[in-house]
Amino acid sequence: MNAIGVISAFRDSEKNDEPPECMTLLLLDSRQLLAFSTLTRLQSFTRSAKALSLTQSAISHAIKALEDDVGTRLFDRIGKRALLTHAGEALLGHSERILREMHDARAKLEELQDWGQSRLRLGASPTACQYLLPTVLREFKQSFPSCQIKIEAGEAPQLCELLLSNHLDLALTLDPRNHDVAFRTLFTDELMLLAPPLHPWVQRQAITPESFSRETFIVYSRTGTTYRMVEEYLHAEGGDLTHVMELGNLEAIKELCKVGVGVGVMAAWVAEKELKEGSLIALPLGQRTLKRAWGIASLRERRFTLVEETFAGLAESVAEIRGLEVGRGDATMSPDEHSQKTASSTVEAGG
């Protein structure tokens, strides 16, 4: 394919928004294009060599190789001057655009290497979004004020899908137990029953498995990880969730619990204010404790950037400040390894 054919292919590709067929046959060398552009501007092999800190022979070889690639002469040598041919003029606009795009790409990459000039695509569970993320991001923005942050809320399975499709960098969530996702444990918490002070369970200080079937449980979502854990736990205890009210707002759940519409199942740190003021009372689910692992999920074998490592460290620090049971895990740990490591703390004997 000669130079005119190359240029025509480029023009056709611009109209169709598709790569030209000749791209499979012809790849223009950026160094040759730089030599071509410089020689076009200076019209002298000697001055072009000096401008690019190369030898005149190197410039000559670059131009010769480019002309061999495109199959036609690009310059007429007239005395000591090098003037563009018709084919050279046709190539010039494309070569300048290519070099400009390459310069812009390099400048953008160098900018991203500067402190905080980056992005962070975060996923977070509803609980983390409401009660953890604001404090973490406030501290994070002090360190990386120029970092662009995108947040996607969702349950652990949904966040895993977004990680695997490369729509998220990190997810602050419950352990998803997904073999394709790495999980770094930040802290664990214990699920408790939340009821108003005058609730019969509070008055008797005794909860039987049979009484669960008569009580209304107000939950955030039936499809979430927490609901599945509670359902499995109560079934093992001999109780069932017979009456369930689904309400996708944690604050609203606590308000309904206060007025006796039902009971909630949450970690104490999520209802810290209500427990301190005495409007809600935390009760154990049963004879055994039910614990959850919270942490940072990411693609397996993916190294954290400085921005991501800082976010993870701040999330752990905020958890520690809030008095949560902090325990940093291995970012490359598999779900089976997590199960073995946390088997004694996820559901353990009370007392």
Report whether pLDDT(129) > 90.
yes
Q: What is the pLDDT of residues 182-208, one digit of tens each?
A: 999 999 999 999 999 999 999 876 687
Question: Can you read off the two tokens belonging to residue 254?
Answer: 């606590």
**Can you tell me which residue has the tokens 């928004």?**
17
Determine the pLDDT at residue 51: 93
Pairwise CA distance, residues 56 & 260, whole Å? 88
Residues 140 and 212 reside in one and the same domain: yes
Q: Can you tell me the distance from the alpha carbon of 195 to that of 239, in angstroms, rounded to the nearest whole number?
A: 18
Q: Quick one: 165 and 285 in the same domain?
A: yes
Q: Tell me the residue range of the domain where 136 lies.
A: 118-351
Give the C-alpha separation, 227 to 220, whole Å: 8
Pair 16, 138 in one domain:
no
Same-domain status, 234 and 271: yes
Q: Specify the number of domains making up the chain.
A: 2
DSSP collapsed to 3 states, 64-102: HHHHHHHCCCCEEEECCEEEECHHHHHHHHHHHHHHHHH
52, 187: one domain: no
- Tokens linked to 87: 């084919």
Choosing from 67, 91, 113, the residue where a domain stops is: 113
Instruction: Identify the CATH number of the domain in which residue 21 sits.
Output: 1.10.10.10
Which residue among 54, 88, 113 closes a domain? 113
pLDDT of residue 33: 92
- Is 123 in the same domain as 107? no
Regarding whether 325 and 186 lie in a shared domain, the answer is: yes
The token pair that represents 28 in the structure block: 């223009």
Whose CA is closest to 155, among 198, 123, 125?
125
What is the CATH number for 162?
A: 3.40.190.290
- Choosing from 53, 79, 113, the residue where a domain stops is 113
Res. 2 pLDDT band, cuts 50 70 90 = very low
Predicted local distance difference test score (pLDDT) of residue 46:
93
The pTM for the full model equals 0.65
User: Residue 342 has what pLDDT?
Assistant: 39
155 and 107: one domain? no
Same domain, 160 and 307: yes
In this prediction, residue 83 carries a pLDDT of 94
Are residues 104 and 55 both part of a single domain? yes
Angle, alpha carbons 6-10-12 (nearest 5°): 115
Q: What is the pLDDT of residues 43-73, one digit of tens each?
A: 999 999 999 999 999 999 999 999 998 899 9
**DSSP helix, strand, coil percent of the chain (3-state; round to 5):** 50, 20, 30
Residues 213, 199 share a domain: yes
| 34 and 138 housed in the same domain | no
The residues near 221 (Cβ < 8 Å, ≥ 6 apart) are 155, 227, 246, 248
Q: What is the pLDDT at residue 278?
A: 96
Pairing of strands 243-246, 75-78: unpaired
Residue 340 phi, psi (nearest 5): -70, -40
pLDDT one-digit tens code per residue, 212-257: 888 999 999 998 889 999 999 988 888 888 899 999 999 999 999 9
Alpha carbon of residue 236 to chain centroid: 36
